[in-house]
Amino acid sequence: MTNTVKPDIIGVASSLITWGIRQLKGKGIQDVIEAVHLQNKEGQRPILRKEHKTATGIDYVFALPPGVDRIDFEANQHYFESYLNSIVEIEATGRRLILKTYQANFKEKIPFDFDHTQFADMFAPFPVGKTPDGKTIIEDLYNLPHMMVGGQTGYGKTSFLLVVMVALLLKGVKVSVIDRKGVDFPSFAPWVNLALTDAETEDLLKKHIAEMHRRQRILRNAGCQNFAEYCELHQDLPYLVLFIDELTQIRNKACFEAIGDMSVLSRVSGISMILATQKPGAKIWDGFTDVRSQLSGAMCFHVRDQTDSQIVLGSGNTRGSELPKIKGRAVWNNDQDQIVQAMYLSAKEAYAILSRQVAKGVYEFATDNDQCAERIDT
């Protein structure tokens, strides 16, 4: 049987619309709205009420008709960016929407800078990156509780993983890493549980599943419904985070099932996952059951095409393929898109920070019921 190549209909249509948008240069932004058919069922379109210059660019203020809202603008965000030749962010309150453009210099390299002591109310804080207006986005993995990281080689995925890992270790989070490439994380073995081979991967996942169930028993015995409630009374359970890099190298059915179970059940017991890939192709979820829907956070660096972008950011979201080819430039999605410049951290710098500030030692998983019982009694 000969293989047939299915055309990327969404990609072709998007490219044609983008070409058409570029022909509107010199006309009004209202023409962009008409070109992408941004309107309600009655044919009413958003109306531009005001253009307001800011320190970083221009704010375009629109009045929205019934039936048109922020989601409709977000679906066409990259067309506005193409027309305006600028990063665009969207703010909306009621029937008023603002397209905020950023035409000032957006730094292309931001060194690692994170003070975990400023986030005492978070279990697992980490810096996502800086927005075009210079604000640093800090997220708590406990609130996500899982995320996906994708991007082609050379655009900042590994550096970002190191940023997150170091930030978590500084906070006192216990980290494990499945590194199927066996290149980026072995030097951090003094601080993280490390798995490199198929056998080690399966074993480390089994340990996390056992730990998840052990913690569920601890919470039940303590009369607590979740990890946060338990930590209000006890300090004996550290937060755990499991990194998996490269996700496409997970091929074992037992591993598929373990990752699937953790994606649904582990948050309540204080365990998060970060799934990373440099090859977010259409078959990446083969073997998994409903894992993608549990990944509330997504960090997408430059990817090859619109299909890969949608794998990381969700159906219809092609912004990862439209990013400039700048290392560290990414789309962060946690309910809505934000363009960010991730902090840069080399492996050498990461090792130096940990050597100075974090005691060596890894999390010791319980191995039998006696240990479980001993932990419950504390």
Q: Which residues pair with 47 in a beta bridge?
A: 63
pLDDT tens-place string over residues 209-262: 999 999 999 999 999 999 999 999 999 999 999 999 999 899 889 999 999 999
CA angle 260, 287, 196 (to 5 degrees): 75
Comparing 30 with 10, the larger pLDDT belongs to 30
CA-based nearest residue to 350, from 143, 10, 111: 111
For residue range 110-133, list pLDDT tens digits in order. 999 999 999 999 999 999 999 988
Its pTM surpasses 0.85: no
The CATH classification number of 110-377 equals 3.40.50.300
Residue 17: in which H helix or E strand, if any? Answer: helix 9-22
Give the chain's mean pLDDT: 88
Nearest CA among 26, 98, 89 for reference residue 60: 98
Residue 4 banded pLDDT, cuts 50, 70, 90 = very low
Phi, psi of 189 (to 5 degrees): -55, -30
In degrees rounded to 5, what are phi and psi of residue 137? -90, 125
CB atoms within 10 A of CB 346: 12
Angle at Cα 162 formed by Cα 159 and Cα 166, nearest 5°? 145
**338 has pLDDT over 70:** yes
Q: What own/partner pairs with CB < 8 Å and gap ≥ 24 does 161-165 have?
A: 161/243, 161/245, 161/274, 161/276, 162/345, 162/346, 162/347, 162/350, 163/112, 163/114, 163/126, 163/127, 163/342, 163/343, 163/344, 163/345, 164/126, 164/243, 164/274, 165/192, 165/243, 165/350
More confident residue, 314 or 66: 66
pLDDT of residue 14: 52
Domain ranges within the chain, ordered by starting residue: 9-102, 110-377
Lowest mean pLDDT among 70-74, 103-107, 331-335, 374-378: 374-378
Report the distance separating Cα 56 and Cα 102, nearest Å: 5
Q: Please say if the pLDDT value at position 334 is more than 90.
A: yes
Quickly list H helices, 124-278.
157-171, 198-222, 227-231, 253-265
